[in-house]
Chains A and B, each alone.
Chain A
Amino acid sequence: MLEDVVVIVGAGHAGVHAAVRLAAWPGRVVVIDEQSGETYERPPLSKDFLKAEGQGDASIPPLRKEQFFADKSIERVHGRVESIDRRAHLVHIAGGRSIAYTKLILAPGSAPRALRIPGGSLTGVHLLKTRDDAVALRDALRPGRRVVIVGAGYIGLEVAAAAAVIGCETTVLEYADRVMSRVTSHPVSAFFERLHTEHGTRFVFGAEVTAISGDGHVESVMTADGSSYPADVVVAGIGVVPNHHLAEAAGLDVRDGIIVDADSRTSDPDVYACGDATRLVDAEAGVDRRLESIQSAQAQATNAANSIMGSARGKDEVPWFWTIQHGVRLQTAGLRRPDDQIVLRGRFADGRCTVLYVRDGRLAALDTVGSLSDFTAGKKLIARATPIDVDAAADVSIKLGEAIPAPQTSTL
């Protein structure tokens, strides 16, 4: 009799989480990844790791020790999946090997967007996505080097913080008019811009990078207004693109991400997808989005595993994300919209402030700077779509969890 097999493509945050969640699956579980060696946590790559002295990559924590996979009889295969034959239920791996699946989980993640400009592939230009990228970048960040970072998003800013602390001359070129403009509001951007400026990082906003010059190795970065920024190291932090090509070639529905439903199922009932590579579309709930976060990758992986095992879907978790820059922690919960009402709780001047995003009288999202208690309490209010008393919420002497309107006493 043929055995049921779940094949997982990708051993990153989503793929490994799905494998762990399938531990109770009676059949085989096979995880394939093009990268060799232990699985690993990605968040440290742009944070403490860059500042850590020392050799190699020993300090990057694994997602699970290799022994874990052996203990759980999860098979690990090293190789790049090149195509999927959905009719034959086979994945083809570079080099000629094929593996049959009963159910397939695609978790191939995303690829960092490269600088497609003249000089974009000179040596000295770095992207930051993998363990190897992080090792190369760490070795390049040396005191006194001139580091030009393109993009003031999470990755660009985390790298800027590390570079500045190491003692590099750090410049961030950003097309928008403020930092993290895609993910947060003006007050939070302003606070982080100041924080980085105080640590010696220079920002240039409205900067469109057009070319990088150098003879083999980078020498300077050019912008559309004719300016030129001398550089020994260039780091591109200009976003990621979903790895959806494999799915697209296999004829699955794809639109800037592999389209999945709330169970992480693709347009083929035997194929699931989770993590950075996906776009969650749930017309009924009005959801159509792509998220790049550990929380989302784990939640989608859990849903895929539950669906395969026939168990109930877990409860929806509020999307959340964190970043640490110069020791200051920014935690975001929920998904804000630019037209949300902004309510400040606390003062940035005190190094501790929460920005609440209120929509239709309810807490929709929040950013906490240095306040973890507000994060946890607020995340619960968001999950429950709780009506919020805006005046109370702005008052730090009242706990955020208690900033809700008094219950209406019903009159007959």
Chain B
Amino acid sequence: MTTATQTVINVVDRDGASRSVEWEPGQTLMETLRDNDFEVLASCGGTASCATCHVFLDKSIVDELGERSEDELELLEESEHYDANRSRLSCQVDAREALDGATVTVAPEED
């Protein structure tokens, strides 16, 4: 049974393996990924300072989530794997109903 507050996402790791995880209310996407042992370093603890929590989401979801902050955009735009349509810093994404069932792909590591 799924309740209204339960968000389940499908995460694709760097090695291409994918797995469904539950996203707890109150957490950022980064925290969910980290707690579920995906390889996001998140060295800055979620303060949009390091870009090591870079993920790709479907364009429709990125659009629905709305504007990225200036800091987030600056960091993303300098990443080698930046995709204007699909890139987000997972630490800047909060749990939303829009994300239920979404696929999140962990971006490749920067060289």
- Within 8 Å of chain B (Cβ to Cβ): is A41? yes
Q: Enumerate B17-36 residues with CB–CB distance to A below 8 Å.
A: 31, 34-35
Docked CA distance A376–B80 (Å): 10
Stretch of B5-13, B37-45, B57-65 with 4 or more beta carbons under 8 angstroms from chain A = B37-45
> What residue in chain A is nearest B51 (Cβ atoms)?
A376
* Residues B41-74 near A (CB distance < 8 A): 41, 43-51, 71, 74
Please report the C-alpha to C-alpha distance between residue A401 and residue B46 in the assembled complex, in whole angstroms: 25
Are B74's CB and A371's CB within 8 A?
yes
- Interface check B79, CB cutoff 8 A: yes
Check B45 against A68 for contact (C-beta < 8 Å).
no
Tell me the complex Cα distance, A68–B41, Å: 16
A234 proximal to B (CB < 8 A): no
Q: Majority SS of interface residues in chain B? A: loop
Asked whether, in the complex, the Cβ of B78 is within 8 Å of the Cβ of A376, the reply is: yes
Mask: chain A, 368-399; 1 = CB below 8 Å from B; 0 = not: 00011100110000000000000000000000
Q: Which of A23, A329, A372 contacts B37 (CB 8 A)?
A: A23
Q: Give a binary string over A36-77; 1 marks a CB under 8 Å from any B CB, 0 the rest.
A: 000001011000000000000000010011011000100000
Q: How far apart sit A294 and B75, CA to CA, in the bound complex (Å)?
A: 19
Q: Which of A20, A61, A67, A72 has the most CB of B within 10 A?
A: A61
Q: Does A295 contact B (CB under 8 A)?
A: yes
Structural contact, A329 and B71, CB atoms closer than 8 A? yes
A324 B35 Cβ-Cβ under 8 A: no
Residue of B nearest to A323 (CB): B49
A294 contacts B43, C-beta separation under 8 Å: yes
What A residues does B45 contact at CB under 8 A?
41, 43-44, 61, 294
Q: Which residue of A lies closest to B77 (CB)?
A: A373
CA distance A329 to B44 in the complex (A): 13
Q: Are A322 and B49 in contact (CB under 8 A)?
A: yes
How far is the CB of B63 from the nearest CB of chain A, in Å?
23
Q: Does A331 contact B (CB under 8 A)?
A: yes
> Quick check: is A298 within 8 A (CB to CB) of the other chain?
yes
Contact partner, B31, options A61, A331, A372, Cβ 8 Å: A61
Residues on B with beta carbons closer than 8 Å to the beta carbon of A371: 74
**Total chain B interface residues with beta-carbon distance under 8 A:** 20
Q: How far is the CA of A322 from the CA of B41 in the complex (A)?
A: 16
Whole-angstrom CA separation of A295 from B49 in the bound complex: 12
Residues of B within 8 A of A329 (CB): 49, 71
On chain A, the residues within 8 Å of B37 by CB distance are 20, 23, 68, 72
Bound-state CA distance A331–B44 (Å) is 11
With beta carbons under 8 angstroms apart, the residue of B34, B46, B49, B77 that contacts A331 is B49
Q: Which of A23, A44, A373 has the most CB of B within 10 A?
A: A373
| A372 & B75 in contact (Cβ 8 Å cutoff) | yes
In residues 303-322 of chain A, which contact B (Cβ within 8 Å)? 320, 322
Interface centre among B31, B34, B46, B47 (most CB of A within 10 A): B47
Chain A residues contacting B35 (CB-CB under 8 Å) are 64-65, 67-68
- Closest CB of chain A to B82's CB: distance in Å? 10
Query: A373 near B47 (CB under 8 angstroms)?
Result: no
Q: How far is the CA of A23 from the CA of B36 in the complex (A)?
A: 12
Separation of A371 and B71 alpha carbons in the complex (Å)? 8
Known: A64-B34, A329-B49. A373 touches B41 (CB 8 A): no
Mask, A351-383, CB within 8 Å of B = 1, is 000000000000000000001110011000000
- Residues on B lying within 8 angstroms of A by beta carbon are 31, 34-35, 37, 41, 43-51, 71, 74-75, 77-79
A-B contact pairs, 24 of them (CB 8 A): A23-B37, A43-B44, A43-B45, A44-B45, A61-B31, A64-B34, A68-B35, A72-B37, A294-B44, A295-B43, A298-B41, A322-B44, A324-B47, A329-B49, A329-B71, A331-B49, A371-B74, A372-B48, A372-B78, A373-B77, A376-B75, A376-B78, A376-B79, A377-B78
The 9 closest A-B pairs by CB, nearest first: A376-B78, A372-B74, A41-B45, A373-B74, A322-B49, A372-B75, A373-B78, A68-B35, A65-B35
**Interface positions of A (Cβ within 8 A of B):** 20, 23, 41, 43-44, 61, 64-65, 67-68, 72, 294-295, 298, 320, 322, 324, 329, 331, 371-373, 376-377, 401
